[in-house]
Structure 1
Amino acid sequence: MNTVEKLLNMDAGKLKLPSSIYELYCKKLDDTLEIECNAIDPERFDEIRMNSLDVDSGNLENVNVYELKVNTILEACPIFRNMEVVENMGLATPKDLIKKLLLAGEIDNLYEEVNKVNGIDAEGDKKRQKEKNKEIKN
């Protein structure tokens, strides 16, 4: 079945954004957290990216990598937007919660997982395609 046939035969109501549960070992807590990571609407995803860029007269001056990662995590992982958790930790904002709980490497790992959920996983995509091709041959 070609792509057009697949799209014509699919039920559009069954489309859903992917998600995952990511197990993150948090050194500050000395415990593993199960963090729900949801895909982000593509327009919102790019908006977060654009908001992390400093542009002056059309020239890219700076990329605020920390803001990019934290804002992406906040959008994808609802636990960090839970104001009951934020306030229980004595904090004012969800960004403060991420900064309080996670080390730099943990933020990087979680950001990478969020990217995977959003389809930014070239290596994983190649592996899945190879496996699918093997299945088709067999």
Structure 2
Amino acid sequence: MQAAAGVTGGCLCKAVTYRVSGALRPVIACHCSQCRKTSGHHVAATSAPRDSVVIAGNVIWYGSSDMAQRGFCGTCGSNLFWDGPGTHLSIFAGTLDGTTGLRLAGHIFCADKGDYYDIGGRLSCVDGADPDMTTQVIA
């Protein structure tokens, strides 16, 4: 299920806000070691076409790999975005305002998950990247 266009979101202190005019992809949980290190657990993210996202405020971008960067608020530290070289910007679902209409659709990098929790349920769980579920990083 995709969310309707026109959703908003932002960080905890409201120094960074954003508006998405395009449709959002269903939420995917990423259990990779980078997501676990930056969030303290796994990351639940949606994505939208980059040109449909308008960001207000000062996002600090950290180059987390050769192909991607992570955006966070420099004031409160909220993790907001993951950006790679594709057409979409990943948006951390917990930063969206209000009711989104989105649902969790699956899990990626399950082989890297922490040993202190189990992934239950009937959703897809793949050991690594899955191009059908995630933001494409190769244009």
**Alignment TM-score > 0.5, same fold:** no
Instruction: Return the structure number with greater helix share.
Output: 1
When normalised by structure 2's length, the TM-score is 0.29
Larger Rg: 1
When normalised by structure 1's length, the TM-score is 0.29
Instruction: Return the structure number with greater strand share.
Output: 2
- Where relative contact order (Cα < 8 A, 6+ residues apart) is larger, the structure is 2
